[in-house]
Each structure stands twice: as C-alpha cells, then as structure tokens.
Amino acid sequence: MATKAPTPDKPRLLLLDGHSLAYRAFFALPVENFSTSDGQPTNAVYGFTSMLINVMRDEQPTHVAVAFDRSEPTFRHQAYDEYKAGRAKTPDEFRSQVSLIHEVLDALRIPRMSVPGFEADDIIATLSVQATAAGMQTLIVTGDRDAFQLVDENVTILYPIRGVSELARMDPAAVEAKYGVPPQRYRELAALVGESSDNLPGVPGVGPKTAAKWLTQYGGLDELVARVDEIKGKAGENLRAHLAGVLRNQQINKLDCDVALELAPPQLTMGQWDRDEIHTLFDSLQFRVLRERLYASISAAEPEAEEGFEVALEALEPGALGAWLEANATAADRIGVAVTGTWGRGTGEITGLALASKKGPAVSLDPAELIADDERALAGWLADPARPKALHDAKGPMLALAARGLTVDGITSDTALAAYLALPGQRSFDLADLALRYLHRELRNEGEESGQLTLDGSGEEEAAQDLAVRARAVAELADVLDTELDERGATRLLHEVELPLVRVLAGMERAGIAVDADHLAGLSATLGAQVKDVEQAAHAAVGHEFNLGSPKQVQQVLFDELGLPKTKRTKTGYTTDSEALTNLLAKDGHPVLEHILRWREVAKLKSIVDSLIPMADDAGRIHTTFNQMIAATGRLSSTDPNLQNIPIRTAEGRQIREAFVVGDGFAALLTADYSQIELRIMAHLSGDEALLEAFGSGADFHTITASRVFGLPPEQIDSELRARIKAMNYGLAYGLSEYGLSQQLRISPSEARGLMEEYFQQFGGVRDYLGEVVAKARQDGYTETILGRRRYLPDLNSDNRQRREMAERMALNAPIQGSAADIVKVAGLNVDRALREHALTSRMLLQVHDELVFEVAEGEQETLEKLVREQMAGAYDLRAPLEVSMGTGRTWQDAAH
C-alpha cells in the first residue's frame, strides 16, 4: 500500500479507474477461492472493495468518484480500427462482478461515472483538470499508465505494482525516475514504445530507455520528428519506417480533458452511507472480514458502536447466590446467561458463568469455587422453566452444563438462533457482531470509567467483567431480536421449533452412536489397497508415474501429453474437476480418465473412514455436532464428523454405514425416513391434481408420472424413461434449470427444454406454481415455507443477470426444501416428546437429511415403530400424505429400507 500522505491543506479528490482496478483484482485473487455459497464469483469485487477501503483509510479524501469504461466504441476506435483488437475475451466470472462493484459503490454513496464514447481515463483526466482549477489536490488510482501524462504538482497517481494490495505513489519525480522523462513527455514516450494491451505497436527495437534518450536529446517528439533523418543506425531506420504509427499512437494516447460530465469535482463528496444497507449487501456477498475493516476505517451515517455496556458487577459472598437469584432473576426478569468453557462431541466443561438482566447488577461465577449451597441454588434456577433465560448459541453451553450435572430449562431466546431466523443468509452469528448490528454497542464495559468497578487489573477480574458484559448483551439483544422476529413472522418458528430442538439435538449429541472399530480398520486397509491398485492402473495407462492428487500434474498428463480435448479454462490452467472429467470420459473414453475418477472416489472414502477411527470415545461411540444455523433453507448440518457426507449410493459407501452399530444394552438400530417428501410438498403447494393423483395411485410415483408425460402404459416405461422423469421431478423441487437438467441427463439443452415442456403439458399446476412463487418472492422480497420460515432474496431484482437467476432458482427451491426441513424438525420434536411420555428407554441418535436413526431398547421395537410412524406421518397434514419407510438391524446399513 502507498505510504500515507500528510493531511492535505486543501480539498483532496480521489479518482479510481473502476474497470482497470477490478480487472487487476480479478487476476490477483484466485476465482476458485472467492465465491458465495450459491456459486457467485466474488474475487474481483472483494479485491476492489478491499483496495478501496485501504485507500480511503490511508488517503482520507474529501471527495471521491469511480470512473468506468463502457462497452460502446470510443473516438479512439473510430480513429484506429485495430485499437484494443486481439484482447482476450473477458472471463464470464469477471463480467458478472462489475454490477456487484456498482452495488458496493452505490451502498457507500460513492459517485460512479461513465460517458458513452469515452474511456474512464478521459473522465479522470477531465475531473483532474477541473479539480486543479478548483484548488483541489487529485489522487488517481489506476493500472493504466496513460494516466502518467496527468501527473503534476497537484495530481499524483497511485499505481498498483502487485495486484491491488500494493500501490506506488507516482508524483513528477517518481515518473521521471522510472521512465527518464517528465510526466508531460510520457505520452510521447508511449507513442514510441507502443502499448501491447491497446494493440498500439511501437517502433521495433525501441524500448523506454532509447525513447527517453531521444526525447531528452531533441526536446520532445515534435522536434524528434522534424529531425528524424539525423537518427543513425537500425533504430533510425525503424523509426522512419514506423513514423506514421508513432504519430497515430501519440494522438490516440492523448486523454480528452474536456468530456461533458454531469458532476464537477466539488460535487463529488462521499455521501453518508447507511449501515443496514451495507450489512445486507455484505451479507449477500459473505464479506464479513471486509465489513469489519470497513467499519474500522470509514464512518457511516451513524456510528457503528455508540458505546459499550455499563455493567455493575456484584461480588457475592459464598452462599449468597440463592438470595441474589431470588432478588434479581425472578419470573418477570429474563436473565442473560453467558458461559465460557469448551464443548463438543457430546460433552464439555464450563470455566465461567455470568448472569445479567437488562438493567440490574450482574454476577460472574467461577464454577470451581462454588460451595454446595450456591451449586444447588444455581441448579434449581437453571432447571426452572418459570425463570426466563436467554443464551447465545445455547447448545454448546448446555452440553458443558450437562457434563456438570446441570440442566437448563426456561430458555426464551437463543440470540444466535433468533438472528439466524432474521438473517438466514448470513454466514456468522457472532455475539460481538450482532451487538454492533442491533444495539450499536461494543462488547466492552463502560463501568470502569464511570467508577462503578474497581479492578486490581488481574486477568481473572477482567475475564469476569468481560463475561458479565456478554451476559448483559445477550439480555438486551434478546429483546431487540424478539421484536425483529415478530415483525418478520418468525416468533412461532423460534419458540415452537428451533428452541425446543436445541435440547433434542444436545441429547442426541450426548448419546452418540456406537461404531465397530475393527470394521473401520479393516475397511481402511481394503480401501488403501484399492487406492494403490487404481493409482498403478492410471500410471500404466500413461506409461509413467504422476501424482493423481495434483491438479497441475493431472492437467499436464491429460492436455499436454495425451492431447485430450481442453476443458473449461481457469486461472491455473484447465479444470480437472470430476464433472469435467466425467464429460471428457464420455467424449474421449481414454482409460486414464476412468482411473483418475475412480481413484478420487476411493481416496475420498478412505479419508472418511480414517477420519472416523480416532473419533470414537472410550465407550466406542462417535458424537457428531448438529448445527441449526448453516443452511439458509433450515436444514440441519452435521460436523466433526459430517455424517451427512457418507455416500450411500455405492457399495463402499454402504460399507462405511456398516461400521455404525447398535450399542451395548440395546437390541437394534431403527431407521425411519420420509418417502419422496420434497415431491409431496411440491404436489401440496402446487395443488396439481394430476400430481396428487399420481401419489394417490399407490403405484411407483416416477413410473406413473413418466407414463403421463410420454403417453405410454406404465408397463412400457423402461428404466431410462423413468430416470428422465425422476430427474425432472426432483429437479423442479430443487430449482433445476434447463441447462442443469441437460447436464444431469447428458442430453442437449433443447432436448431438456422439450422434456420440460412435455412435463408441464401434463402437470400445468406445477408450472403455474413455479411461476407464481418467483413472482411473489420478487414482490415480497422473500419466500416462505409452510411454517413461515423466510428466505430473503434481494437479488431477485438485481441488475446482475447471474445473481438474479441464482435468486430465482433459490426462490423455486427454498419453499420446498425449507418446508421439508421444517417437517423433519417437527417430526423429531414429536417423536422425542412421545418417547418421554411413554417412558421408553429407546432413544433417538441421529437426524441425517430426512432420516431419523434410533437405538431400540430390548422389548420396545413394536411400540417404537408404531410411535415413530404415527409421529412422523402426523408432523404435517399434506394433500399428498406423508409416508414413512422404516427398517431395523444391527448396523445402520442393515437397518436400511
């Protein structure tokens, strides 16, 4: 980054060349490392925004604008047909990001300018001349060297020398030191040397040093041209031969300083941007770190953090906790609870606990120092459902408290879950970030300055104070989020589904599921041998060894050595992802492609097995962690280990499921899942009578729908026709496009379009529903599930085609996928309640996608099966009624159905 300039004594105008800087950012940051969860590339907008924040912070401009090129030809194209000819096609991944950069600038209230027939350089040149006349300093950030001709005592260039993260400050002395001529001669030097990026050839054999020597010796290009016959040798011959091109270059390189603009420099003040608008935009772009840097560097319309929290931390004598709770933690006062410690894999340990209401005193407790009376008082209060409590991301603390023998009831708010329901597209629900966002406060205590606290500076007291601040923040945040959820129609969803589910998930995590360590070890050895065999087969197919796990070496083998057809080009070469290699295998059939794909499949399975082996605890059970706040659709995720990642469509994947077994003291595992739940929801929401009739027929759903689409009797529907309609059925539920369907079925887009048209001729209600759901979401700004879970989709009205189409697919997908997630959660809650009401020993262990897994106690199988079927089938009344499939066995795989 350029060295920070001294504070200006007159107004400072910052001008940025939008396309130049965005393009540099695009190639500086790998596109594969920067994209949103829904696939929108963001490397250019991230790099540009990062650079913008840094420059604004370091240079402190009083005025700012960003100039952009336009797609129309300019006066330079009219003067020279070959101007910029031969440039590589702009990557699609870049093109979709330009409008995102526009959105960032608009949200920051930074003026952006473009003029038909002119380049960004001309706009910048015009503004810099006008700024000088208005008594302003000008800083220009651009990667186009043509701007060097503008440099003078009032105009400085910040030129990127490494991506967009490091800028060189080019004042008159710096330009002359680098090029050997003053800035006013730079255009003449460029005319002699040429500019390959603009397709302006220079004089052959003449570089910057020779050009600078000539211009210095003759006093400029005009005198050099007048005395061109005096130049000796081959260089002189080349100059005379290419003199017309030099003069053309000089004319084309000249920046127009008189472009008609709507705004003059004094009008280019940066407007006061709105914090909430930036939050919404940066949420969609998933720019959490950049948002924090932005707030730390540039002020918004309102200060992000107005203040901290004033918390009076009350010191309690041993045995006094019960009295404090009676006085401050009554049924009328919701208490914020903050916990420190460690948790995961079904257990945890607490190291600190703080309690605070919104206004009263707070206490911070060290669990190691609690006497028996205080422990009993705390246990009674925590377990009392009549004493309202708020926690942040409560499941982890609940696990840690449970490990100490403490249960928690009466939770009326989990501020992380509440924020997730309010902002389901956000990637993080950190308490500090939410306090800034909703309370405009930082997690710091103002009490020390106000004299409310006297600390001796010890780390223990500071930690106690910090924990009390967190408890107060949770208490205040809970109220704000209650209002937010009420406005968004999500209060019932929080209190009837998500909050009760926290306790159920914590129970499943504590229970875990038993594994057969010997089976895993044997499977690891078997898969390891397969990996080596496939690797050797791949080496034999090409005649030498290479690293199948190295994309670079795979590229070299496939495209350089074997000369196979090129796949999609990326920054690092040609893609070798599985989809590309599968398509290549279908086209070319070279055996090494099959070996590489098989090697990846087996190597992935082995890595899954090897990751499971050390995760079993002393009792031989694995405890996954469920997360309610990852998927915007409401689906649960599973981590450490990810049990949703175990494939079931291959024999090897099913062998991994055989490692999960019934535990000691139980008779069997039972699995129960919904049959075609997404399709039943689609039939319910669309009300399509033909689709509902297909479900009511009792026959195979995909065969019946294929029979209608193709006009054939069911017995004539073969496996290929059934597969096509199955892909269509599920594809529509997942928002699949014509192109996506063509890729999945390996047919042309036109065939896919025809198949969809045939489908909609039979199931017109589905077509109408899909059109209506997008139109309504575009009008409302969100979609809704059958339980009222909203997904906000501001990109439905975006000018960016790629983002708009992604949002449309989400609008198609979210109501169906989200409704399925809601129903499975309700089913889990209903089953858990029924298990307790019937006092069964059997227990629920896992929820994986639409499947629930149970450990069956001896003698309870018949009762459990009846209970589970009733509760799951009755989770929601659909017009295409829910059906439940069940199975039992010693292993998870044996219990498949």
More confident residue, 705 or 233: 705
Closest residue by Cα to residue 634 from 477, 802, 501, 831: 501
DSSP state letter for 230: G
Closest residue by Cα to residue 503 from 652, 398, 386, 588: 398
> At 452, is the pLDDT very low, low, confident or very high (cuts 50, 70, 90)?
very low
Least confident of 269-278, 478-487, 525-534, 758-767: 269-278
Give the residue-averaged pLDDT of 563-572.
Answer: 80
Report the pLDDT value the prediction gives residue 305, as an integer from 0 to 100: 57
Q: Where are the beta strands (DSSP E) in 531-607?
A: 569-570, 573-574
Whether residue 520 sits in one domain with residue 505: no
Closest residue by Cα to residue 764 from 846, 686, 832: 686
- 163 pLDDT more than 80: no
- Pairing of β 884-889 and β 668-674: antiparallel
Report the pLDDT value the prediction gives residue 451, as an integer from 0 to 100: 33
**Angle, in degrees to the nearest 10, between helices 801-837 and 677-686:** 110
Q: Is residue 119 domain-resident?
A: yes
Report the pLDDT value the prediction gives residue 741, as an integer from 0 to 100: 83
Copy the structure tokens of residue 324.
């404090």
Whether residue 527 sits in one domain with residue 502: no
Whether residue 562 sits in one domain with residue 505: no
Whether residue 343 sits in one domain with residue 391: yes
Q: What is the CATH number of the domain that holds 489?
A: 3.30.420.10
Q: What are phi and psi of 3, to 5 degrees?
A: -60, 140
Copy the structure tokens of residue 539.
């080496």
More confident residue, 753 or 833: 833
> Cβ distance 358 to 476 under 8 Å?
yes
Residues 6+ apart with CB under 8 A from 635: 817, 818, 820, 821, 849
Whether residue 431 sits in one domain with residue 334: yes
> At 85, is the pLDDT very low, low, confident or very high (cuts 50, 70, 90)?
low
Whether residue 474 sits in one domain with residue 530: no
Q: Which of 592, 622, 652 is the last residue of a domain?
A: 622
Q: Is residue 654 domain-resident?
A: no
Copy the structure tokens of residue 824.
């499975």
How far apart, in Å, are the Cα atoms of 443 and each of 139, 160, 472, 644, 873? 37, 37, 9, 36, 46
Spacing of C-alpha 221 from chain mean position: 54
Q: Which of 622, 651, 674 is the last residue of a domain?
A: 622
Give pLDDT tens digits for 732-774: 877 777 888 887 787 888 888 888 888 888 889 999 999 999 9
> Cβ distance 435 to 442 under 8 Å?
yes
End-to-end CA distance of the chain: 61
Least confident of 408-417, 567-576, 636-645, 802-811: 567-576
DSSP state letter for 489: T
- The total domain count for the chain is 4
Collapse the DSSP code of 92 into the 3-class scheme (helix H, G, I; strand E, B; otherwise coil) and give the result: helix
Give pLDDT tens digits for 119-131: 899 999 999 999 9
Report the pLDDT value the prediction gives residue 8, as an integer from 0 to 100: 52
DSSP state letter for 791: E
Whether residue 580 sits in one domain with residue 564: yes
Q: Which of 579, 607, 622 is the last residue of a domain?
A: 622
Report the pLDDT value the prediction gives residue 851, as an integer from 0 to 100: 95
Q: What is the CATH number of the domain that holds 42?
A: 3.40.50.1010
Whether residue 539 sits in one domain with residue 437: no
The residues pairing with 141 across neighbouring beta strands, listed in sequence order, are: 16, 158
Q: What is the CATH number of the domain that holds 568?
A: 1.20.1060.10
Give the residue-averaged pLDDT of 605-609.
Answer: 94
Distance CA 161, CA 36 (A): 28
> At 298, is the pLDDT very low, low, confident or very high (cuts 50, 70, 90)?
low
Report the pLDDT value the prediction gives residue 4, as an integer from 0 to 100: 44
Give me the residue label for tokens 């050099």. 224
Give the residue-averaged pLDDT of 334-339.
Answer: 96
Q: Is residue 1 domain-resident?
A: no
Residues 6+ apart with CB under 8 A from 346: 399, 509, 510, 511, 512, 617, 623
More confident residue, 793 or 859: 859
Least confident of 168-177, 795-804, 856-865: 795-804
Whether residue 586 sits in one domain with residue 497: no
> At 834, is the pLDDT very low, low, confident or very high (cuts 50, 70, 90)?
very high
What percentage of the chain reaches a pLDDT higher than 90? 55
> Cβ distance 112 to 124 under 8 Å?
no
Distance CA 533, CA 260 (A): 70
Report the pLDDT value the prediction gives residue 354, as an integer from 0 to 100: 97
724 φψ region: left (φ > 0), alpha (ψ -120 to 50), beta (else): alpha
Element (H, E) at 790: strand 790-792
Closest residue by Cα to residue 282 from 103, 135, 494: 103
Closest residue by Cα to residue 622 from 643, 644, 604: 643
Residue type, 206: V
Whether residue 373 sits in one domain with residue 390: yes
H-only helix segments in 613-745: 651-657, 677-686, 689-696, 701-710, 719-733, 738-745
- Asked whether the bond before 424 is cis by omega within 30 degrees of 0, the reply is no
Report the pLDDT value the prediction gives residue 826, as an integer from 0 to 100: 98
More confident residue, 8 or 170: 170
> At 449, is the pLDDT very low, low, confident or very high (cuts 50, 70, 90)?
very low
b/e map of 306-329 (b: 16 or more CB within 10 Å)? eebbbbbbeeeeeeebeebbeebb
Residues 6+ apart with CB under 8 A from 433: 288, 292
Report the pLDDT value the prediction gives residue 894, as an integer from 0 to 100: 96
Distance CA 498, CA 173 (A): 65
Q: C-alpha angle 117/121/127, rounded to 5°?
A: 100
- 455 pLDDT more than 60: no
Whether residue 141 sits in one domain with residue 78: yes
Copy the structure tokens of residue 446.
């103002």
CB atoms within 10 A of CB 778: 15
Q: Is residue 852 domain-resident?
A: no
Closest residue by Cα to residue 331 from 229, 418, 410, 232: 410
More confident residue, 282 or 61: 61
Q: Is residue 301 domain-resident?
A: no
Q: Is residue 200 domain-resident?
A: no
Q: Is residue 609 domain-resident?
A: yes
- 303 pLDDT more than 50: no
> At 447, is the pLDDT very low, low, confident or very high (cuts 50, 70, 90)?
low
Provide the Cα torsion 818, 824, 829, 830; round to 10°: 120
Report the pLDDT value the prediction gives residue 448, as an integer from 0 to 100: 47
Report the pLDDT value the prediction gives residue 869, as an integer from 0 to 100: 97
Q: Is residue 713 domain-resident?
A: yes
b/e map of 606-638 (b: 16 or more CB within 10 Å)? bebbeebeebbeeeebbbbbbbbbbbbbbbbbb
Report the pLDDT value the prediction gives residue 427, as an integer from 0 to 100: 67
What percentage of the chain reaches a pLDDT higher than 70? 94
Give the residue-averaged pLDDT of 575-580.
Answer: 87
- 7 pLDDT more than 70: no
Q: Which range marks the domain in which residue 161 is found?
A: 12-172+256-267
Copy the structure tokens of residue 442.
């930082």
> At 78, is the pLDDT very low, low, confident or very high (cuts 50, 70, 90)?
low
| C-alpha Rg value of the chain to the nearest Å | 33
Give pLDDT tens digits for 88-144: 667 878 888 888 899 899 989 999 999 988 889 999 999 999 999 999 999 999 988
> Cβ distance 401 to 337 under 8 Å?
no
Residue type, 75: F
SS (H, E, C) 418-459: HHHHHCCCCCCCCHHHHHHHHHCEEEEECHHHHCCCCCCCCH
Give pLDDT tens digits for 813-823: 899 999 999 99
More confident residue, 73 or 69: 69
Residues 6+ apart with CB under 8 A from 415: 390, 391, 392, 393, 431, 434, 474, 477, 478, 481
Q: pTM score, two decimals? A: 0.76
More confident residue, 300 or 343: 343
- Pairing of β 335-344 and β 362-365: unpaired
Report the pLDDT value the prediction gives residue 571, as an integer from 0 to 100: 61
Closest residue by Cα to residue 225 from 251, 198, 207: 251
Give the residue-averaged pLDDT of 321-337.
Answer: 91
Q: What's the number of CA atoms in the CB half-sphere (13 Å) around residue 797?
A: 10
Residue type, 44: A
Whether residue 493 sits in one domain with residue 518: no
Report the pLDDT value the prediction gives residue 454, as an integer from 0 to 100: 35
- 156 pLDDT more than 50: yes
- 706 pLDDT more than 80: yes
Distance CA 184, CA 174 (A): 13
DSSP state letter for 143: S
DSSP state letter for 561: I
